[in-house]
Structure formats: structure tokens, C-alpha cells
Amino acid sequence: MQSLDPIFQPIKLGLHTVPGVWAYMFPEEVKYFQVDPEIRSSCFNCPQVKDAGFHPSVRCCTVIPRVPNFLMGMALNSEPTRGLIESYIAGGHVLPEGSNISPKQLLASLSYIVKPDRDNPTVVCPFLNWENKQCGIYAFRSTVCSTFFCHHDRGEEGGIFWEDLQDLGSQIEAALSQWALSEIGFDREGYFQRFNSLSEKPDSCSEEGKTGWSLSARQLLWGEWFGRETEFYKACADVIIQNKKDLYKIASAQSILQTEAYDESVRQELVKTFPKDLVAEALPDGKPEKIQNLWYSLQLSHRNLQLSRLPKSSEK
């Protein structure tokens, strides 16, 4: 069975559990990084419930994560996670690169950041199990979720290290999800052109009474794969698994396309209501950073993290 492949099994980075794909998508050295346990971010006894009034069941999962197509496909091939992904697909929340925040969800998310109602969170990750407070797609969660800690036991050096790891992992996920599109025979360039054409009619992306993408937007973006999203994601997972030994090399060589025109039209609408900085953070502008440069930054921040463990000269 495909789900017996080791890529389905979470691995450890220090004491932290991360998705099994990490063993393949990062440079080999990452597996041997010396990483401190982030004990102060004790998620099952979340300090932010008391300190910042976070909802005790939801805590910081008040986001709509971007899960790449191949992780969605792996989650569909795994019994405990299949149902969650199938319902998310049925709700119209996903696009060919993976789960993708819809215009309505983005609006709700920014409104929540500006005016959070901690007792009654209006934006909650669809994969969160409120009852046991667990992530429903833990083995397949995105790099952003795997690297987020609200406190860093080793202070600034720890924060920079996790942030650099997050930037590198997110860029690798974006590159691999786009590579997978081409590998399964999906016209990646045509898809991005169609996406950008939505900048001329951004309102057509949403539908009355629904939080996901509109039917017309999904039909346009999925093309001939519309209605076969499950099959599509599984095909993306398959090509990633078949090429697992070369994932970092593949990601480094991949050019990353962006939905610049569409993003700009959304930005122009959002700045009418929300602060410019907030919009810039939610929808960053500019060209994607090269994966090799992000890897270089991560190596430096890892080295600084190691140096921060040495006793200061005054402590000797």
C-alpha cells in the first residue's frame, strides 16, 4: 500500500515532530540540525490562553493554512485524514496548487486580525479538531504550521532560525506543488494566465452564502480536472513520492509563477478597508526569493543558534 512509504511517517527534528516529506524535501543536513525544544510554546497547555485571551480549544489555529497539492494528496491516501480533505474539497476551498484562501476567507481573516473576538473566533482552521485540540492533518501539515512557535526558548536566535526554516520550507512547497502540476500534464502557464484574468472580475470569485471559491472560478481554474480534484491531488502526491530522492534538487531548479495581476486587484480592494501594512503582510508583493539563498540564510541562522548555546565570556 502506498501509505506504507516512509514519506507518510512523521519524523523528528530535535524533539519536534514534522511531516515525513521533510526527510526528502530539505537538504540532507537539516535532518541533523541541533534544534532546541520550544518548551515555552506548550501547545496543550497553551500560555496564550491566559496571557492573550486565546480561545482554549482553538488557540493560534485562527488561520486558513496553505497546504500544497502533494500533501493534500498524501492526506487523501491516509485513512485518518481522507474525510477532512474530501469535505474541504467539496466546500470549494481548494485550487490546483493546494488549499488556497478564498477572497471571502481572506476578508474574514483580516477582519479577525483587526478585531479579534477571542471567545467566539470567526476564523478557525478547517483541519482543527476543537474537542481534542489536535491538528487533523498533523502528519501532512504545511511548513508554516510545523515551524510556528509563539515563544522561543532561545530568544531571538531561535525565532530567526524557525522563521528562516519556515521561509525555505514554504518556498520548497510552492516550487514542488508547481512542478507537480507540470509533471501530471496540467498546463501550469495556462492556469496562471487564467488565474490572472480573474483580476478583471474579482467579484466573480465569490458566491452568496459560501465561504469558498465560486463555482465559475473553480471551473475556470481547474479546467478539465474540475470534479476530479481528489484524483488530481493523488496524482500530484504520486509524482512527488516517485521522485522523493531528488525533491530538493527539483525544487531548486523550478521557476515559481505567481498570480501577480490577480493579487494586485485583491490588494487594491483590501487597502480600502484595512491598513496597508496588514494587506502587505497577507499578500506579499515582489519576486520569490531563490531557494539557494533561503538555504544559505538558514545555515547561518542555524550556526548562530549553536553559538548562542556557548557560555558568554563573562559567564566563563
Among 60, 108, 256, 282, binds ligand SF4 (CB under 6 A): 60
128 binding ligand SF4? (CB under 6 A): yes
Among 125, 172, 184, 279, binds ligand SF4 (CB under 6 A): 125
Long-range contacts at 27-32 (CB < 8 A, ≥ 24 apart): 27/248, 27/295, 29/299, 30/165, 30/298
72 or 247, CB closer to ligand SF4? 72
72 binding ligand SF4? (CB under 6 A): no
Long-range contacts at 229-232 (CB < 8 A, ≥ 24 apart): 229/89, 229/94, 230/76, 230/85, 230/86, 230/89, 232/69, 232/96, 232/184, 232/186
Taking a C-beta distance cutoff of 8 angstroms, is the pair 68, 98 a contact? yes
Q: What are phi and psi of 287, to 5 degrees?
A: -80, 145
Chain positions 188 to 217 lying near ligand SF4, rule: CB under 6 A, are: none
141 binding ligand SF4? (CB under 6 A): yes
Query: How far is the C-alpha of 104 from the C-alpha of 52, rounded, in Å?
Result: 26
Instruction: Give the shortest CB-204-to-ligand SF4 separation in angstroms.
Output: 28
35 binding ligand SF4? (CB under 6 A): no
127 binding ligand SF4? (CB under 6 A): yes
41 binding ligand SF4? (CB under 6 A): yes
Which of 69, 67, 86 shows the shortest CA–CA distance to 238? 69
Query: How far is the C-alpha of 233 from the C-alpha of 84, rounded, in Å?
Result: 14
DSSP 299-311: HHHHHHHHHTTSP
Query: How far is the C-alpha of 193 from the C-alpha of 10, rounded, in Å?
Result: 36
Taking a C-beta distance cutoff of 8 angstroms, is the pair 26, 100 a contact? no
Instruction: Give the shortest CB-135-to-ligand SF4 separation in angstroms.
Output: 3
Instruction: Give the shortest CB-103-to-ligand SF4 separation in angstroms.
Output: 20
Among 72, 76, 137, 198, binds ligand SF4 (CB under 6 A): 137
63 binding ligand SF4? (CB under 6 A): yes
Nearest 10 degrees: CA dihedral of 232, 174, 164, 300?
110
Among 30, 35, 61, 123, binds ligand SF4 (CB under 6 A): 61
Among 43, 261, 278, 280, binds ligand SF4 (CB under 6 A): 43
41 or 301, CB closer to ligand SF4? 41
Which of 138, 137, 163, 131 shows the shortest CA–CA distance to 38? 163
Specify the residue for cell string 494566465: 193
Among 11, 108, 113, 150, binds ligand SF4 (CB under 6 A): 150
In this chain, which stretch among 35-43, 99-107, 172-180, 200-208 interacts with ligand SF4, using CB under 6 A? 35-43
Query: How are beta strands 94-95 and 98-99 bridged, if at all?
Result: antiparallel
Instruction: Give the shortest CB-88-to-ligand SF4 separation in angstroms.
Output: 11
113 binding ligand SF4? (CB under 6 A): no
List interacting residues with ligand SF4 (CB under 6 A). Answer: 41-43, 46-48, 59-61, 63, 65, 125, 127-128, 135, 137, 141, 145, 148-150
